[in-house]
Structure 1
């Protein structure tokens, strides 16, 4: 089932158009990687899909025409930005609680029906699930987010996203600034989330790791899709190897 469909998407900042006619799709339980050089428009793409930027073209999410960011969040799309955007003077637990805010505030369902389960119990179960995925966050639950290490902050950003029980995760540079061992751990978690049925759109500067993790990939250059296809094919494409992977055709993600 197609979770996200983007057709002929153009977007930018003011009069400066950054994306030009981008088309892509993400299926349920699929990781799709977006790779490309700095300035190619990767983060702009994520923000435009989420409705954080004015856009032209068609964006469909779970079979419906996508609205702005509030609509996307309520329907199960969550963006984890490269900055992680944590509330550093709040505890780990309080940051996680904010991840379920849309579910707290959604008093009724379409057609006027009331929510069936008490929000407090629902959020408690979600937090227990996050602590199962990230045991370290359970140990740090009363610690201020600003005192966490870089790897722990990324865990918290992902955990906060999971609190919304997403159907689609948009991950912008999840490995940015992390030590190689932590990157391996984070990518293992992302793979496990895919196995839960979550669709994942992954923007990643580490093209080698992204193409090893994802099933399908798009190469974005100057705001346009330059190449796309199964990641196994992209990883063996001469142009991709020379531009993004170096010449080590047989490299593997460590761990």
Structure 2
């Protein structure tokens, strides 16, 4: 229950307490002839649930009980609500009402405007209304500041859009190119690729040495030149063969 609802409920109870107490103490026939709070008018604004809650022993008709139960809160709810009221707040409400006459109390019970003015004069209600107004003003101020920043926000969005469509696109294209080169380099120097190229170099050297041997048989090259070139080729071939074997053994292990 909010502060205003809590204060309203407490004011209602205290009003009824003072009003009925003074009716009893006054004892005059004129005051006894006056209608009770719930009998002031059939269309009174005053909540019947509060009236009935202050005098639960008074019998009610089935129709009245049905209509009152619509706005009536349970006793446990009212007890929990009143437990949230500080003694100082209750004392301030009692101090405002204790010196009022029966007519003034009756007016508060029957006149909605008078009751509302009394409720708004309570310090807890003033505090809540003041906090509410402060929060509303702060919210409005933040909204104005946000609206003032809207042109700057739109400008930054346009800049982001330009960067995304121009500079970002260029940077992404360059990044993709570098990634492609990276993949090619890694593939070129991978162990399997190195073994394949080493095998190709071995086969090429072997073919060249066979070709040189045929040239010797066909007497296209003299013996001294053949020995020098053939020895060099075979040396290169066996060096590559040993390297290939060592690399292949290491890769498989």
TM-score range, shorter chain: under 0.3
Relative to the length of structure 1, the TM-score reads: 0.23
- Structure showing the higher helix proportion among its residues: 2
Higher strand content, 1 or 2: 1
* Larger CA Rg, structure 1 vs 2: 2
Comparing both chains, which one has the higher relative contact order based on Cα–Cα distances under 8 Å and sequence gaps of 6 or more?
1
TM-score by length of 2: 0.23
